[in-house]
């Protein structure tokens, strides 16, 4: 008997328009946390309801990106593909999701070598 398993860390994705009019993509992770992709930032939230909490009680981490590293959006989305703990973005950047870190790299090759990291959330 074969047991079917899924190693994808990203469970689902949805487009949101925030109250300020900004379009973002919310990735629901396997632990139910939300990784929010915006043109100029990455943020990690406790859950979907925490995203527009005025007191930011559910905001776990947030990093503003330098203009050089802004994320590219196509048809409202930032994520082109996801497999296991890798999220491919439209401009060759990748997000690597591990139990201890969420890291943004300029390319898959950089992520594979753990070099040229653009930003990281250290979760441990």
- Please give the structure tokens belonging to residue 75: 């048809």
- pLDDT value, residue 19: 92
Report which of 58, 53, 19 is spatially closest to residue 35, judged by C-alpha positions. Answer: 58
User: Running along the chain, 124 residues long, what does each successive block of 10 average in pLDDT?
Assistant: 63 94 95 95 95 88 96 95 94 93 96 95 82
What was the pLDDT predicted at 6?
59
State the pLDDT at residue 7.
66
The pLDDT value given to residue 63 = 96
pTM for the predicted model, two decimal places: 0.90
Rounded Cα distance between 36 and 71, Å, is 12
């Amino acid at each position: 008997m074969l047991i079917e398993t899924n190693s994808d860390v990203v469970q689902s994705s949805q487009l949101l328009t925030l109250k300020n009019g900004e379009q973002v993509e919310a990735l629901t992770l396997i632990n139910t946390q939300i990784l929010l992709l915006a043109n100029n930032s990455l943020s990690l939230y406790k859950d979907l309801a925490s995203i527009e909490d005025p007191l930011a009680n559910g905001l776990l981490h947030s990093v503003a990106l330098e203009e050089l590293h802004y994320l590219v959006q196509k048809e409202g989305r930032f994520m082109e593909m996801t497999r296991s703990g890798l999220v491919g973005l439209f401009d060759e950047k990748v997000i690597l999701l591990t139990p201890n870190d969420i890291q943004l790299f300029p390319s898959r090759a950089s992520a594979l070598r753990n070099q040229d990291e653009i930003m990281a959330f250290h979760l441990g």
